[in-house]
Amino acid sequence: MAEIKKKPGEQAKQDEHPGKQAKEAPQPRSVRVVMMALMVTILLAMLDNMIVSPAMPTIVGDLGGMEHLSWVVTAYMLATAASTPIWGKLGDMYGRKGVFLTSIVIFLLGSVLSGMAQDMGQLIGFRAVQGLGAGGLMVGVMAIIGELVSPRERGKYMGMMTGVMAVAMIGGPLVGGTITDHLGWRWAFYINLPLGAVALAMVTAVLHLPKKKAEGRIDYLGAALLTVGISSLVLVTTWGGTEYAWTSTVIMELIAIGVVALISFVIVQKKAAEPILPLHIFRSLNFTLMSVIGFITGFVMFGAMLFLPLYQQAVQGASATNSGLLLLPMLLSMMVVSFFSGRFTTSTGKYKIFPIAGTVLMVIGLFLLSQMDTDTSRFTSGLYMAVLGAGMGCLMQITMLVAQNSVEMKDMGVASSSATLFRTLGSSFGVAIMGALFNSRVEDTMSERGGALGGKVTEQSAQLDADSLSKLAAPVRDAYQHAVSAGTHSAFLLGAVIGVAALIAAFFVKEVPLRGSGPKDSEPKDSESKGSDSGGEKLAEDVAGDAAPGPRDAVAEAV
Grouping H, G, I as helix, E, B as strand and the rest as coil, residue 349 is coil
**Higher-confidence residue: 319 or 497?**
497
- For the chain, what's the residue count? 559
What is the CB neighbour count within 10 angstroms for residue 431?
Answer: 20
pLDDT band at 362 (very low <50, low <70, confident <90, very high): very high
The values of phi and psi at residue 244, to 5°, are -135, 150
Report the pLDDT value the prediction gives residue 457, as an integer from 0 to 100: 52
pLDDT digits (tens, 9 = 90+) for 370-379: 898 888 888 8
244 bridge partner residues: 240
Considering just the CA atoms, what is the radius of gyration of the chain in Å? 24
Window from 72-76, 181-185, 210-214, 218-222 with minimum mean pLDDT: 210-214
For residue 72, pLDDT over 70 is answered with yes
Find, among 407, 392, 345, the residue nearest to 143 by Cα. 407
**Higher-confidence residue: 360 or 429?**
360
Report the pLDDT value the prediction gives residue 446, as an integer from 0 to 100: 78
pLDDT digits (tens, 9 = 90+) for 117-138: 888 888 888 888 998 888 888 8
**Higher-confidence residue: 195 or 319?**
195
Window from 48-57, 186-195, 334-343 with minimum mean pLDDT: 48-57
Contacts of 134 (CB under 8 A, 6+ apart): 45, 48, 76, 79, 80, 103, 107
pLDDT band at 463 (very low <50, low <70, confident <90, very high): very low
Find, among 551, 510, 475, the residue nearest to 402 by Cα. 510
249: left (phi > 0), else alpha (psi -120 to 50), else beta? alpha
281: left (phi > 0), else alpha (psi -120 to 50), else beta? alpha
Report the pLDDT value the prediction gives residue 275, as an integer from 0 to 100: 81
Grouping H, G, I as helix, E, B as strand and the rest as coil, residue 210 is coil
pLDDT digits (tens, 9 = 90+) for 201-253: 888 888 777 666 666 677 788 888 888 888 888 888 877 777 788 888 888 99
Cβ atoms of 436 and 246 closer than 8 Å? yes
Cβ atoms of 294 and 423 closer than 8 Å? yes
Q: What angle do CA 432, 436, 438 make, to 5 degrees?
A: 115
The values of phi and psi at residue 245, to 5°, are -65, 150
Report the pLDDT value the prediction gives residue 367, as an integer from 0 to 100: 93
Grouping H, G, I as helix, E, B as strand and the rest as coil, residue 547 is coil
pLDDT band at 410 (very low <50, low <70, confident <90, very high): confident
Contacts of 11 (CB under 8 A, 6+ apart): none
Q: Structure pTM?
A: 0.74
The proportion of the chain whose per-residue pLDDT surpasses 90, expressed as a percent, equals 10
For residue 21, what are the CA distances in angstroms to 147, 171, 345, 516, 521? 19, 40, 17, 10, 14
- b/e per residue, 446-463, with b = 16+ CB within 10 A? beebbeeebeebbeebee
pLDDT digits (tens, 9 = 90+) for 38-50: 888 888 877 777 7
What is the CB neighbour count within 10 angstroms for residue 264?
Answer: 17
**145/36 Cα distance (integer angstroms):** 11
Report the pLDDT value the prediction gives residue 91, as an integer from 0 to 100: 83
Dihedral through CA 228, CA 229, CA 233, CA 239, nearest 10? Answer: 20
What is the CB neighbour count within 10 angstroms for residue 261?
Answer: 19
Cβ atoms of 258 and 251 closer than 8 Å? no
Rounded-to-5 percentages of helix, strand, coil across the chain: 80, 0, 20
**Higher-confidence residue: 68 or 224?**
224
The values of phi and psi at residue 39, to 5°, are -65, -35
For residue 452, pLDDT over 70 is answered with no
Across 141-158, average pLDDT: 75
For residue 513, pLDDT over 80 is answered with no
pLDDT band at 9 (very low <50, low <70, confident <90, very high): very low
Find, among 356, 361, 392, the residue nearest to 159 by Cα. 392
Contacts of 38 (CB under 8 A, 6+ apart): 141, 144, 145, 203
User: Roughly how many angstroms between the first and final C-alpha of the chain, as a whole number?
Assistant: 14
DSSP string, 457-478: HHHTGGG--HHHHHTS-HHHHH
pLDDT band at 518 (very low <50, low <70, confident <90, very high): very low
Give the chain's mean pLDDT: 75
pLDDT digits (tens, 9 = 90+) for 377-398: 888 888 999 999 899 888 887 8
Cβ atoms of 431 and 554 closer than 8 Å? no
Across 322-331, average pLDDT: 74
Q: What angle do CA 97, 161, 531 make, to 5 degrees?
A: 65
Contacts of 467 (CB under 8 A, 6+ apart): none
pLDDT band at 503 (very low <50, low <70, confident <90, very high): very high
Q: Is 48 exposed, middle or buried (0-12, 13-18, 19+ CB in 10 A)?
A: buried
